[in-house]
């Protein structure tokens, strides 16, 4: 688990907004910064699954995962957070919901502008289609955003897509995407930024 602060994520004075893409997960939260890094943070002890831990131990693990995510966010201009997948059938749904709301609450209390993009919106922005296999997003990221290393990790790739969508919405796109891909921007929920004319 990554608990140390990454390279600076403070608001850029170079004319380019700093955006963090964030795809929350108990075992592998993907983070990507427009400053050029990706990270994956989570609980990875497969011998002691979270669902089998006593409640107080489970809460301690959740707090550690939350801290690891927050320590990597910094003070960006914008965070694009993947909205929860309400149809997800994976385990620990109660805990996943807690983690998502804890991160969203932190971003709100820290006054970090936050956008929400659905999983289908993320896939659309990456590939031009709203439902694709995970490998298609990984391939799209490797092709369109080669400066971001994902090592084939779908969580990191998802975060890169969210980050790139945020930069595009702010008018500072990292790559030129077709209209079919950019239609995903209209489906996301964007914040009202200070001084914005949108």
> What would the DSSP string read from start to end of 32-101?
EETTS-EEEE----TTS-GGGS-HHHHHHHHHHHHHHHHHHH-S-SEEEEEPP-TT---S-HHHHHHHHH
Q: Domain 19-187 is of which CATH architecture?
A: 2-Layer Sandwich (3.30)
pLDDT attached to residue 49:
82
**What is the per-residue pLDDT across 71-107, written as a single tens digit (0 to 9) for each?**
999 999 999 999 987 655 555 677 888 899 999 999 9
pLDDT attached to residue 86:
60
Over the chain, what is the mean pLDDT? Answer: 87
How many helices, marked H, and strands, marked E, lie in the chain? Answer: 7, 5
Q: Which range has the worst mean pLDDT, 55-59, 74-78, 183-187?
A: 55-59
- Residue extents of the structural domains in the chain: 19-187
pTM, entire model? 0.88
pLDDT attached to residue 72:
94
């Amino acid at each position: 688990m990554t608990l140390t602060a990454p390279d600076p994520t403070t608001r850029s004075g170079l004319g380019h907004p700093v955006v963090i893409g964030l795809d929350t997960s108990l075992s592998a939260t993907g983070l990507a910064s427009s400053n050029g890094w990706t990270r994956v943070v989570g609980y990875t002890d497969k011998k002691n699954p979270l669902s089998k831990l006593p409640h107080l131990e489970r809460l301690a693990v959740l707090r550690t995962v939350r801290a690891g995510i927050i320590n990597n966010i910094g003070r960006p201009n914008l965070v694009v957070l993947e909205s929860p997948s309400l149809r997800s059938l994976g385990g620990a749904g109660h805990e996943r919901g807690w983690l998502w709301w804890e991160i969203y609450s932190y971003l709100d209390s820290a006054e970090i502008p936050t956008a929400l993009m659905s999983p289908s919106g993320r896939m659309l922005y990456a590939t031009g289609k709203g439902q694709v296999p995970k490998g298609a997003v990984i391939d799209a990221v490797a092709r369109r955003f080669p400066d971001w290393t994902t090592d084939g990790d779908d969580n990191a790739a998802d975060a890169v897509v969210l980050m790139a969508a945020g930069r595009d919405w702010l008018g500072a796109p990292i790559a030129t995407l077709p209209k079919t891909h950019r239609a995903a921007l209209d489906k996301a929920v964007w914040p009202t930024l200070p001084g914005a004319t949108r």
